[in-house]
Amino acid sequence: MKIVQIASEAVPWCKTGGLADVAGALPQALVDAGAAQGLRVEPALFIPLYRSVREQAQKRGLELVDTGVVATAPFGLGPERARWMKIEGAEGPPVYALDAPWRYDRARLYDDEHQRPYDDNLHRYALLCRATLEGAPALLGGLPDVVHAHDWQGALAMMYLRTRYVRQMHRAAAVLTIHNLAYQGVFPGELRHTVDLDPAAFHMDRAEFYGHLNLLKGGVSYADSTTTVSRSYADEIRTAQFGCGLDGFLRARARWLLGVVNGIDTRAWDPKTDPALPHHYDQEDMSGKLACREALLKEFGLRASIGQPVLGVISRFAGQKGLDLVAELVPHLHRLGAKLVVLGSGDAGLEDRFRYLARTFSRNLAVKIGYDGPLSRRIYAGADILLMPSRFEPCGLNQLYAMRYGTVPVVHAVGGLRDTVVDPGDAALMRGEGTGFRFEHPTLQGLVWALDRAVRMYRHAPPAWGRLRDNGMRRDSSWTQSARTYLELYQALRRR
């Protein structure tokens, strides 16, 4: 089975968030799931050749090799020709990067240093989608059986597949995964003429949205199946509260709308071997975690006594993540007897607010504004508790990494957080059930209530805390089950 995966970011080449982890890990997970069933699965990943892709390849001593496959996109402002390069020697299934420096050779993936989206984003991702369909047969050595695209950046692939490529690729199953419905790729309607959109696609049942061009909506309308990254989120996006204006459309029009929870790459995320950690540990011997905690406190210039838990936050600073609640929590840290380290960047107002709080409450809070992969790992390892008060969360990988590193998540019970963190209540937690603490209402009161429970158990019931931590580390967050589910879906949709 030949599978095209189209994504706008993928580890280790380019990353702003969890989509990169998923797109980077899924191809190999599909191969493994296929092998377990005696099925030959041949995925390939198609991404833009951003500046960071070149840098990451170089850093690894890998070469970008010209495949000789050139794709032409017949766009309104003049055809664009771009070349598919292969990241030679990359681990796992093939990764192809689209060489179009005028579109992708930039410092950041989606926006400039003032966080203004690039004004040619429509064309940047139209080109990716078009060139993928154009180049795939030559690169795969045959027609694809499945075209699986991710988020609005991949959505045009669904539309092109069922209009411009319908004759050639009518057998291919079209799957679109929504990692975040809050980002839909909405552009002025008249721009449709510049990306060779089929006229029929600009219709209220398709990509038209109040006169605008809505790529995600168009993609859903053409996909054979729309998936999202947890079961709860699949339900939530059909409600007005979480539907971001598309709930009615999703209820009426989305075919096979499924929630498939994300896995994590358990080899790349392992406290026993993680090269970013100063000390290593596993369930049998957790002493390394304590040493990681000491190192983390030192790195951040904080002090904590034995009964004082270290709380961690690792996040994009975006409205979704409920960081305003974390900011409100800061003055209460003293009473709670907890220390907090925050790593994140994004919204400038939030960045300023956390800088200010760190100056004012310097004994209890330390903040690093920025994006830092190795540091994020030291926090997953060194913290006792990870806070995730997201207002909505399609899946969330943070809490999965935290559990894997023996850090107990305290989360708002929403989306993937609800599905992956088990909180059976204090009595059951004391008996050794569950993996974390959840609160139902995204308010300061809700957060403090759950955190209070966590801190009390941490301080007064170390054996119960140890079991809780253990349960999280033991949780199967691997891709095994979800990759199997995607394969089943592909097989069910394949047109004979």
Gap between the Cα atoms of 376 and 315, Å rounded: 9
DSSP code of residue 384: S
Q: 229 is in the binding site of which of ligand ADP, ligand GLC, none (Cβ under 5 to 8 A by kind)?
A: ligand GLC
What's the min distance (Å) between Cβ of 244 and ligand GLC?
Answer: 12
> CA–CA separation, 385 vs 438, rounded Å?
12
343 binds, among ligand ADP, ligand GLC, none (CB under 5 to 8 A by kind): ligand ADP
From the list 16-24, 46-54, 115-123, 131-139, the region that binds ligand ADP by CB under 6 A is 16-24
- CB of 21 or CB of 423, closer to ligand ADP: 21
* 22 touching ligand GLC, by CB under 6 A: yes
Question: Are the CB atoms for 373 and 276 separated by under 8 Å?
Answer: yes
239 burial class (0-12, 13-18, 19+ CB within 10 angstroms)? Answer: exposed
Handedness of CA 331, 335, 336, 339 (dihedral sign): positive
Q: Which does 278 bind (CB under 5 to 8 A by kind): ligand ADP, ligand GLC, none?
A: none
| Nearest to ligand ADP of 270, 372 (CB atom) | 372
- Selection from ligand ADP, ligand GLC, none that 235 binds (CB < 5 to 8 A by kind) is none
Binding residues with ligand GLC: total (CB under 6 A): 14
Shortest gap between Cβ of 315 and ligand ADP (angstroms)?
5
Q: Report which secondary-structure segment, H or E, holds 368.
A: strand 365-369
Is 184 near ligand GLC (CB under 6 A)?
Answer: no
Q: Is 438 left (phi over 0), alpha (psi -120 to 50) or beta?
A: beta
For residue 345, state whether it binds ligand ADP (rule: CB under 6 A).
Answer: yes
**Which of residues 246, 277, 397, 408 is near ligand GLC by CB under 6 A?**
397
CA–CA separation, 286 vs 470, rounded Å? 10
Question: C-beta of 160: minimal distance to ligand ADP in Å?
Answer: 26
**Residue from 469, 464, 381, 395 nearest 429 by CA:** 464
Q: Across the chain, which distance is largest between two alpha carbons, in Å?
A: 69
- Residue 384 binds what, of ligand ADP, ligand GLC, none (CB under 5 to 8 Å, by partner type)? none
CB contact at 8 A, 316 and 438: no
Q: Least distance (Å) from ligand ADP to the CB of residue 22?
A: 8
Question: Would you count residue 344 as binding ligand ADP (CB under 6 A)?
Answer: yes
HSE (side-chain half, CA atoms, 13 Å) at 97: 29
* CB of 18 or CB of 309, closer to ligand GLC: 18
Under the binding rule (CB under 6 A), the answer on residue 396 touching ligand ADP is yes
Residue type at 69 in one-letter notation: V
- Please tell me whether residue 396 binds ligand GLC under the rule CB under 6 A: yes
Give the residue carrying structure tokens 């001593």.
61
Question: Residue for token digits 């204006």?
Answer: 245
CA 481, 483, 485, 487 dihedral sign is: negative
What is the closest distance, in whole angstroms, from the C-beta atom of residue 125 to ligand GLC in the complex?
Answer: 16
Task: Tell me which residues in 285-324 interact with ligand ADP (CB under 6 A).
Answer: 314-316
Q: Which of 15, 162, 179, 469 binds ligand GLC (CB under 6 A)?
A: 179
Distance CA 468, CA 267 (A): 22
Q: Which residues bind to ligand GLC, rule: CB under 6 A?
A: 17-19, 22, 179-180, 229, 262, 393-397, 416
Q: Which residues bind to ligand ADP, rule: CB under 6 A?
A: 17-18, 21, 314-316, 343-345, 371-373, 376, 395-398
